[in-house]
Homo-oligomer: A and B are copies of this chain.
Amino acid sequence: MPELRKDPVLGRWIIISKERSKRPTDFIIEEYKSSGGFCPLCPGNEKTTPNEVLVLGREPGLPSNSSRWQVRVVPNKFPALVIEGELEKEGEGLYDRMNGIGAHEVIVESPNHDDRFAFLPPEQMLLIFQAFRSRINDLSRDERFSYVMVFKNYGRAAGASLEHPHSQLVALPILPRMVTSELEGTLSYYKYKDRCIYCDIIRQEIQQDIRLVCQNDHYVTLTPFAPRSPFEMWILPKKHSSSFTDVNEESLQGLVDIFSESLQRLDLCIPNVPYNFVLHTQPLRSEPLEHYHWHFEIVPKLTSIAGFEWGSGFYINPMPPEDTCRYLKDAM
């Protein structure tokens, strides 16, 4: 059983995933799955993954786990958290721990091994966002879970261990620090100003037009004022909304358009750059929040000293976001 442990000073939770445990010398980074080898996510190899929990684009009548699908969601074969069991919160002296109950799923983004997320046809990317929404809604019915984190690691340097296009989600029984810090920060601004800070950011960025990469009727992409990395981008809905699961189909289409455009602009600036994106949305089963605003953060993996910087909360970014914004705008 994996275990959740809380750092007693910082309140930061860590997943100790013993199932993935190794000998000390095994930590050399694993071989990247090359296009030539066997791929467990390719059509025809459905039996090599755990049973699918969602499939989109399969004709009615075909059996589950058969090989005709457009998007397929399966439990991670090496999950960081397990779905079965109770949390059993307990102390150990001054420390706190609980069982590592949760879900860890892989969203297979396309049947085509060589597809790249940034260049997917719009109808394909739409299915992926629909899968995110559907899985979050489904997992929110499990009262043990507080949050579903949806993310993508693209490229080996950004943590992808499989080449086949995929993203991941983790359902957690606790709120990650990213979420609690954002909720605290936005609430504090809201108490003072009675406005959502992200709504204010969007207004200011559209007005200033120095960090605005692109926009459409529903969304903006901007390079944030204080980015951790060169070419960091945030995609935010223009209309206030605290939960990604509240997006309607028209808005999702706008999200597909701006996501594709933003990632394609990035790819034109730095071809095939590794990146992570993370969906930031409100906790499960929360009422709509006036002070919070869901969004995606896309962080390219560019600077080699990231390890130290993420750990210390102390970041050095060699390029102002106004410059990266200009590069991104000029790219197309």
Chain A contacts to B: CB under 8 angstroms: 3, 5-18, 20-22, 24-25, 27, 29-30, 80, 92-95, 149, 151, 153, 156-159, 161, 170, 172, 176-178, 181-182, 185-186, 189, 197-198, 200-201, 204, 208, 224-228, 230-231, 269-270, 273, 276, 278, 297, 299, 301-321, 323-324, 327
Q: A8-B226, A9-B181, A27-B230 are in contact. List 13 more A-B contacts (CB 8 A).
A: A3-B320, A9-B189, A10-B182, A12-B315, A13-B314, A16-B319, A21-B319, A21-B323, A22-B319, A25-B270, A80-B316, A153-B308, A172-B314
B311 touches A228 (CB 8 A): yes
| CA distance in complex: A301, B304 (Å) | 11
B307 touches A27 (CB 8 A): no
Report copies per complex: 2
Most buried by B among A208, A224, A311, A327: A311
| CA distance in complex: A299, B182 (Å) | 26
Closest 7 CB pairs of A and B: A310-B310, A177-B313, A159-B305, A20-B318, A5-B226, A9-B185, A176-B314
Determine the residue in chain B with the shortest Cβ distance to A231.
B24
Give the residue of B12, B157, B181 whose beta carbon is less than 8 angstroms from that of A226: B12
- Given A204-B93, A312-B149, residue A228 in contact with residue B14 (CB < 8 A): yes
- Mostly helix, strand, loop or mixed at chain A's interface? mixed
| CA distance in complex: A311, B176 (Å) | 11
Chain B: minimal CB distance from A325 (Å): 12
Question: Can you list 6 pairs linking A and B with CB atoms under 8 Å apart?
Answer: A24-B231, A157-B307, A178-B312, A181-B313, A278-B308, A299-B311
| CA distance in complex: A21, B315 (Å) | 15
B304 touches A299 (CB 8 A): no
A304 touches B156 (CB 8 A): yes
- Given A21-B318, A270-B24, residue A10 in contact with residue B204 (CB < 8 A): no
Chain B: minimal CB distance from A13 (Å): 7
